[in-house]
Structure 1
Amino acid sequence: MPKESYYRLINKQLSAVLGDETNLIANLSNSAALLFESLPDINWAGFYLYEKTSDELVLGPFQGKVACIRIKIGAGVCGTAFKNNTTLIVKDVSKFKGHIACDAASKSEIVIPIVINGEKIGVLDIDAPITNRFDKTDQHYLELFAKILQKNS
């Protein structure tokens, strides 16, 4: 199945799963599960949420192996994407200066900032056990995925 096709299906499923639910944790939990079960060649999908009191990203709902709990803003791929409010695609995490290796099996990563009502609340983080897993097509459809999630939360 072409990548665009499965992403269109995933985004349609997300809209159906979220329905009228507005609880952020419930929506993030189902979103992580949907991505983890639907995307080929990934080993982690989840969210890090911004905690104002500590000025850090804190582990949120996810699917995959045990993960790092706290990430400083500007640190690693997640902290950098959050700080710069931009999607980051890292084709080979071993070449990303300051990469935080929560799972040694992860070889590539994509991180998308999550903004609700104009406020950055965290990031969507997806890891893969192969290099060069993510490209501009993944970015496009995962940013749409984030917009669907943001609209419902």
Structure 2
Amino acid sequence: MSAPAHRLTPEDLLSAATGLLAAEQDPLANMANLSALIFEALPDLNWAGFYLYRPHAKAPATLFTLASAAPSGQPEASSSQGELVLGPFQGRVACTRIAMGKGVCGTAAQTRTTQRVADVHAFPGHIACDAASASEIVIPLVAQGHLLGVLDLDSPRKDRFSPADQTLLETLVTTFLATLPTA
């Protein structure tokens, strides 16, 4: 499948994502396809993908329901512990692991708030996985009070991401989270 000749409107992107996610129950497959859809649909991106939260540096490679819950009898790790590990994405080779609170992704994960950065070079502690990146937006994935990871988009254009983009991407994340198993 080749990239579309024209970019999708926000409404079309949300509709396409909703249909795509409804057709599959596997979170990994949905993250892979959602990354590809966003990368193809939004202009001026050089990276779109997910980082998954691991509460402990040596946490097993599980997806969300096990990775986000503490082992029985133990409290959940605080958001200052653990790390983000590379998940499905589209774009150039990326950083594999990001510490909580480090860079834009680690900050979004630790604070559990969207980070929309107009100039990544002015962001304290920015991690330059791709020197071409000039702006970035990162949306945390939080379900039932558990941090699951982040959705990260980079652009080679400064000030690429608008408040409308933020709203759209947060809606896409909410749509994705609604497809996750609750057990």
TM-score by length of 2: 0.79
**Counterpart AA for 1:127:** D
The 4+ residue runs of structure 1 with deviation greater than 4 A are none
Q: Which residue of 2 aligns with 1:21?
A: 24
Q: Which residue of 1 aligns with 2:168?
A: 141
Q: Which residue of 1 aligns with 2:159?
A: 132
2-side partners of 1:92 and 1:53: how far apart?
31
1-side partners of 2:118 and 2:92: how far apart?
20
**Between Structure 1 and Structure 2, how many residues are aligned?**
149
CA contact (8 A) 1:77 1:88 kept: yes
Q: Secondary structure at the match of 1:103?
A: coil
- Counterpart of 2:95 (choices 68, 88, 110) is 68
**Structure 1, residues 35-87: CA drift from partner, whole Å, max 9, x if none?**
00110011100000001221100000000000000000000000000000000
Q: How far did 1:20 drift?
A: 4.4
Query: Between Structure 1 and Structure 2, which shows a larger proportion of helix residues?
Result: 1
2-side partners of 1:43 and 1:85: how far apart?
24
Q: Which gives a bigger RCO, structure 1 or 2 (Cα 8 Å, sep 6+)?
A: 1
**Counterpart AA for 2:44:** D
Instruction: Structure 1 unaligned segments of length 5 or more: list them.
Output: none
Q: Secondary structure at the match of 2:149?
A: strand
CA contact (8 A) 1:112 1:124 kept: yes
TM-score by length of 1: 0.94
1:97 and 2:99 equivalent?
no
CA RMSD of aligned residues (A): 1.0
Q: How far did 1:22 drift?
A: 2.2
CA contact (8 A) 1:81 1:113 kept: yes
Calculate percent identity across the aligned residue pairs.
51
2-side partners of 1:121 and 1:40: how far apart?
27
